[in-house]
A = this chain, B = another copy of it.
Amino acid sequence: MFQALADPNRRHMVQRLCEGPASVSELAAPLQMTLSAVVQHLAVLEGAGLVRSQKIGRVRTCQLETQALRAAERWISERRSLWERRFDRLGAFLAENPEDPLEKNSK
């Protein structure tokens, strides 16, 4: 999932898909690389559950799948807030105690 978002080209594709569904070649157009490569990236995105796609006739149409994005977002925000809460408690502790009680390296 983070793996999938790690590649700039893949993020670019995600960006594009935010603005609406697109065919494979539409995704490929701005990307200065082979269609083949794009398809491979697409496979990664689908594997990570970030994108869903279906083929109608000869064109495959891709859509963003927000579930996965939501999961990633949650993961990050959980850790962040966990750490920040800890940080706040520390701040509170320092605030209601004398300046620095542990002068290990005082001269």
**Chain A interface residues (CB < 8 Å from chain B):** 2-3, 5-6, 11, 14-15, 17-20, 64, 66, 69-70, 72-73, 76-77, 79-80, 82-84, 86-87
Contacts and interface: CB of A to CB of B under 8 A. Distances in A.
Contacts of A83: 17-18, 64, 66
Given A2-B6, A5-B2, A6-B6, A80 B86 contact: no
Interface of A is mostly: helix
26 contacts: A2-B2, A2-B5, A2-B6, A2-B11, A14-B79, A15-B79, A17-B83, A18-B79, A18-B82, A18-B83, A18-B86, A19-B82, A19-B86, A20-B86, A64-B79, A66-B83, A66-B84, A66-B87, A69-B76, A69-B79, A70-B80, A73-B73, A73-B76, A73-B77, A73-B80, A76-B76
